[in-house]
């Protein structure tokens, strides 16, 4: 199934202006350990009133731009995924020591998480990442190795 960026952006804007997305300020600053590295949550968004997600998509990358600029850009790139079919939440992460980033997305199904893994949004993310520093994975929620960071 092909997804059109404009349709996803329109759905994202609709979710935002109808207050269906909650930004959890209480998550900001929490430290989590992933891949033997410490990351800090700097943003956390949740689609309200969703059933328990089944698919987890994770992305780990370094960028060609500074961490501060990447954080600002990430505000604008939200439109590329919040309207993606099946998206239910995302935690934005930064490794304060290395400047590398991570994202933990939850989707209603594993199939939708896999579709997102191959989406235009991830192609853009890979393009803006530093050479050789980009990794994505999809998991069944029950088999995600970092269960402690899941949950809304």
Check if the beta carbon of residue 104 is closer than 8 Å to that of residue 93: yes
Single out the residue of 119, 53, 44 nearest to residue 88, CA to CA: 53
Mean pLDDT of 47-53: 89
Summarised one tens digit per residue, pLDDT across range 72-119 is: 888 888 877 888 899 999 999 999 999 999 999 999 999 999 999 998
Beta bridge partners of 48: none
Helix axes 120-127, 110-117, angle to 10 degrees: 40
Instruction: Please say if the pLDDT value at position 132 is more than 90.
Output: no
* CATH 3.60.40.10 holds for 34-65+84-128+135-140: no
In the chain, what are the domain boundaries? 34-65+84-128+135-140
Task: Report phi then psi at 70, rounded to 5.
Answer: -65, -40
Is 0.85 topped by the overall pTM?
A: yes
């Amino acid at each position: 199934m092909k997804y059109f960026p404009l349709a996803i952006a329109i759905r994202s804007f609709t979710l935002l202006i109808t207050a269906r997305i909650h930004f959890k300020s209480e998550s900001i600053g929490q430290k989590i350990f992933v891949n033997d590295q410490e990351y800090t949550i700097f943003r956390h968004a949740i689609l309200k009133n969703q059933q328990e997600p089944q698919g987890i998509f994770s992305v780990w990358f370094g960028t060609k731009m500074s961490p501060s600029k990447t954080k600002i850009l990430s505000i604008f790139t939200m439109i590329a995924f919040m309207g993606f079919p099946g998206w239910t939440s995302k935690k934005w992460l930064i490794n304060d020591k290395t400047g590398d980033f991570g994202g933990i997305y939850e989707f209603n199904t594993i199939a939708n998480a896999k579709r997102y893994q191959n989406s235009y949004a991830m192609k853009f993310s890979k393009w803006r990442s530093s050479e050789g520093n980009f990794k994505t994975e999809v998991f069944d929620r029950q088999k995600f190795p970092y269960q402690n960071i899941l949950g809304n």
